Structure formats: C-alpha cells, structure tokens
Amino acid sequence: MRIRTIVTLAGGLTLLACGDQTPEAPPPVPEPEAQAAPSEPAGLPRTPSPDGAMVYFISPADGGQVTSPVTVVFGLNGAGVAPAGIDLPNTGHHHLLVDTELANEGLPVPADEQHIHFGLGQTETTIELAPGEHTLQLVVGDHLHIPHDPPLLSDRITVTVE
C-alpha cells in the first residue's frame, strides 16, 4: 500500500506541476533591418576627368553618308591617350559604342561587337557596318576601362551606310 501511495502522490504532483499553466508565447523575433536595394550595381573607384577635356569625332561627320568599311577618326582635347593598364594622370583610351549607349558609368565598358575597345591607344579604326542608319559614340576609359568621372563622352552621331 505504501508503494501505491507514493506512486499516486508522484502522479498527482506531476499533474499539478503541468496542470493549470498557460503556455508562454515565444519571444518576438526581431525583424531584420530593411536595406534599400541599390538601383544599379555598385561601381568601382573612378578616375576624375581632366578639367575641360572632351572627346569627339574627327570623321565621319554627323549625318554623313558613308560606305563600308567606315574609317572612324577619334579626337581628344585636354587629355592624353595611354594604353589600357597604364595608369597615368589625365589620360585614358577610347571605346567606340556602335548602335548602343553606355549602360553603367561606374563599371568597365563591356567588350563586344557594340563596345569596341582601343586599349593599345589607337586613335582611329576601320569598321564594317551593314547598310542602313547607325549611331556612333566615343567614351574614354581609364586604365581599367572604367569611364572617367564625369564620363568623357562624345556627342552621339548618326551615319548612313549606303
């Protein structure tokens, strides 16, 4: 009988301990701080543009009628030309944008058929263009192909290939 009393008491105490308790709500989980999503990819450090520098087309002329291959001659005033990879003050090298715009001033200019690099310091080229209307624009990039700040962009010109 004594064992039965002990078991009954132990069971009763267990029920009493677990009985009339309301479960506690878990502590609130702090919400992560809201971070603004960048509107465009973060850029890299940019080289300041030389004061008064400008890039332009010597030829062809805006609105010109041309035949393919087209000879394109670049002009640069107020800055020098240096090959890619050479970091000299107030210099850069040309990139020719064909039928496109500069997508992101803070990143290196892409290298493809619409973004032609002249990383050896060339100041003219001959390119094949299909018959029809085309836009051309020059942008000067630093030793890492990143446009200067502010970017040295020529006027966008239009040529018609016969």
DSSP character at residue 112? B
Residues 132-152 have pLDDT tens digits of 999 999 999 999 999 999 999
Q: What radius of gyration, in Å, describes the C-alpha atoms of the chain?
A: 34
Q: What is the CATH number of domain 54-161?
A: 2.60.40.10
The domains of the chain are located at 54-161
Model confidence, pTM: 0.74
pLDDT over 80 (residue 93): yes
Which structure tokens are listed for 51?
Answer: 């004061």
Higher pLDDT, 82 or 8: 82
